[in-house]
């Protein structure tokens, strides 16, 4: 398949990106890659070794992946019009490998007996398996990607903040391949912008998080900084990777919001009442557990209590992490399943904003979220 794999096309612009490649040992070989590509594109190898590619959009694929992750690898590719694309190809058989790894991990943890009961590790592993299976299904990812493009467009402010989602090319996608337009940028954990820019990105990220949770009830819950790319030239933030999208029940999210709101207003009694009603706490829980839960909620509510919040100084995720140690010892009932991904989403956004040193959040976004929820009722 050498005529398709042509590194000449990809000049020095890409060399830094290729040099970042980790886990090279885990990449697919060129012939494994060819087999995977053929499954979706029906690309034919001619007797002379050249290719007949029935889908003419892509003329070149760089043979060396630019990224190799746990589920698949990404190749940069170009068209005859010199437009660049990301071709993400799933490793064959990966879903069963990862789910059985998770089963083995669970058995091992049971044997060595290191996980406290209050962690409810079975639930976490079950949730993890469900997520991995979904993430390995690139047809679901394509659907998520298309849906996300529409949702992002529905909020004019997100565009003003500079958020963009690269187009995906459905005719080139299959259950093992996703092709999207290349977004030129660096991952958001590798930038140190001026305060004004840091604040703009931070405000945008917090708005995006609230929109996803409380307006769209559909969220990209994978906080990996590699899914957020900053294009300094255009001042834009590219959002990629929709394998970790989750849909939530809008009613449940509206209920969950009442806890966030009570916490933001500093209303401990209301946090307690709503937490019992929604199953975050149960009558079996100890006083210590109840107190720790309320304290955790209060810390989560802080950024939405007053003016814009300094996430770096506020150390929200670290402080919640401290009180959550009590959960591991004291929790008697597992929390609602949604919280694993919702809290991962929030923690990811808070940490990114803290790293950027940006100020964001505040009462304004809380009030706006309440309007979104009320307008659905
Ligand atoms: N459309 C794109 N534009 C630019 N870079 C991309 C694009 N898609 C993927 N990448 C690069 O490949 C990496 C992995 O892609 P991603 O979709 O996040 O895969 P995974 O599901 O394995 O996390 C990204 O962090 C980014 O560096
Ligand atoms: Mg990713």
Q: Given a cut of 90, is residue 36 above it in pLDDT?
A: no
Q: Which residue has the higher pLDDT, 316 or 95?
A: 316
CA nearest to 353, candidates 186, 234, 200, 152: 200
Q: Given a cut of 90, is residue 294 above it in pLDDT?
A: yes
| Distance, first Cα to last Cα, the chain | 56
User: What are the tens digits of pLDDT across the range 336-352?
Assistant: 989 889 999 999 999 99
Q: Looking at 47-51, 93-97, 149-153, 174-178, which range is the least confident one? A: 47-51
Q: Quick one: pLDDT band at residue 43, thresholds 50, 70, 90?
A: low
Ligand 1 contact via 36 beta carbon (within 6 Å): no
Average the pLDDT over 299-309 and give the result.
97
d(CA 244, CA 75): 20
124 burial level (CB within 10 Å; 0-12, 13-18, 19+) = middle
Query: Domains of the chain: which residue ranges?
Result: 7-92, 94-135, 148-165+183-377
- Token pair for residue 326? 């009590």
Q: Identify which of 86, 144, 348 to mutate to test ligand 1's pocket (most ligand atoms within 8 A of the CB).
A: 86
Q: Quick one: pLDDT band at residue 18, thresholds 50, 70, 90?
A: low
User: What are the tens digits of pLDDT across the range 249-271?
Assistant: 999 999 999 999 999 999 999 99
CA nearest to 174, candidates 52, 67, 72: 72
Which residue CA neighbors atom 27 of ligand 1 most closely? 226
Q: Looking at 113-122, 282-291, 365-374, which range is the least confident one? A: 113-122
d(CA 359, CA 248): 28
Q: Given a cut of 60, is residue 49 above it in pLDDT?
A: no
Cβ contact 58:77 at 8 Å: yes
User: What are the tens digits of pLDDT across the range 118-166?
Assistant: 778 888 888 888 888 888 899 999 999 999 999 999 999 999 999 999 9
Ligand positioned closest to the Cα atom of 141: 1
pTM of the model as a whole: 0.88
Contacts of 221 (CB under 8 A, 6+ apart): 244, 245, 246, 341, 342, 344, 345, 348
Q: Identify which of 17, 20, 74 to mutate to test ligand 1's pocket (most ligand atoms within 8 A of the CB).
A: 74
Q: State which of 1-10, 94-103, 361-370 shows the largest mean pLDDT.
A: 361-370
Q: Given a cut of 80, is residue 20 above it in pLDDT?
A: no
The pLDDT mean for the chain works out to 87
Cβ contact 331:292 at 8 Å: no
Per-residue pLDDT, 52? 61
Per the annotation, the verdict on 175 as an active-site residue is no
The Å distance, Cα 318 to ligand 1 centre, comes to 28
Give me the DSSP letters along 232-279: TTTTEEEE---TTEEE--HHHHHHHHHHHHHHHTT-HHHHHHHHHHTT
Average the pLDDT over 17-32 and give the result.
64
Q: State which of 47-51, 55-59, 185-189 shows the largest mean pLDDT.
A: 185-189
**Angle at the Cα of 279 from the Cα atoms of 302 and 347, rounded to 5 degrees:** 35
Average the pLDDT over 77-90 and give the result.
88
Q: Which residue has the higher pLDDT, 292 or 331?
A: 292
Average the pLDDT over 27-36 and give the result.
84
Ligand positioned closest to the Cα atom of 68: 1
Matching residue, tokens 């990607």: 145
Contacts of 86 (CB under 8 A, 6+ apart): 66, 74, 75, 76, 77, 166, 178, 179, 180, 181, 182, 183, 240
CA nearest to 361, candidates 188, 255, 230, 204: 204
Residues 146-182 as b or e (16 or more Cβ within 10 Å = b): bebbebbeebeebeebbbbbbebbeebbbebbbbbbb
Bridge pairing between strands 309-310 and 228-231: unpaired
Per-residue pLDDT, 10? 54
């Amino acid at each position: 398949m050498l005529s398709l794999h042509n590194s000449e096309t990809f000049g020095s612009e890409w060399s830094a990106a290729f040099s970042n490649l980790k886990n090279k040992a885990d990449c697919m070989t060129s012939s494994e890659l060819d087999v995977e590509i053929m499954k979706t594109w029906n690309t034919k190898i001619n007797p002379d070794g050249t290719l007949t590619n029935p889908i003419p959009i892509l003329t070149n694929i760089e043979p060396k992946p630019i990224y190799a992750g746990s589920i698949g690898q990404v190749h940069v590719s170009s068209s005859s019009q010199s437009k660049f694309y990301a071709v993400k190809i799933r490793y064959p058989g990966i879903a069963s490998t990862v789910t059985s790894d998770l089963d083995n991990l669970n058995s091992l943890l049971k044997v060595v007996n290191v996980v406290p009961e209050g962690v409810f590790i079975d639930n976490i592993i079950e949730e993890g398996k469900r997520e991995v299976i979904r993430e390995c299904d690139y047809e679901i990812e394509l659907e998520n990607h298309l849906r996300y493009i529409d949702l992002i467009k529905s909020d004019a402010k997100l565009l003003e903040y500079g958020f963009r989602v690269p187009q995906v090319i459905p005719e080139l996608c299959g259950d093992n391949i996703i092709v999207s337009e290349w977004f030129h940028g660096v991952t958001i954990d590798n930038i140190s912008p001026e305060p004004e820019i840091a604040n703009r990105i931070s405000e945008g990220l917090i708005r995006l998080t609230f929109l996803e949770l409380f307006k769209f009830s559909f969220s990209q819950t994978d906080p990996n900084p590699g899914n957020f790319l900053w294009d300094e030239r255009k001042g834009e933030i590219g959002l990629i990777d929709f394998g970790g999208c989750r849909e939530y029940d809008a009613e449940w999210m509206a209920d969950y919001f009442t806890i966030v709101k009570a916490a933001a207003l500093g209303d401990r009694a209301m946090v307690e009442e709503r937490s019992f009603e929604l199953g975050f706490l149960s009558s079996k829980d100890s006083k210590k557990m109840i107190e720790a839960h309320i304290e955790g909620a209060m810390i989560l509510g802080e950024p939405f209590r007053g003016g814009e919040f300094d996430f770096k100084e506020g150390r929200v995720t670290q402080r919640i992490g401290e009180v959550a140690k009590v959960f591991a010892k004291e929790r008697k009932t597992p929390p609602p399943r949604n919280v694993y991904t919702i809290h991962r989403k929030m923690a990811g956004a808070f940490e990114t904003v803290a790293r950027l040193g940006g100020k964001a959040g505040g009462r304004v976004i809380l009030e706006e979220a309440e309007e979104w929820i009320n307008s659905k009722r």
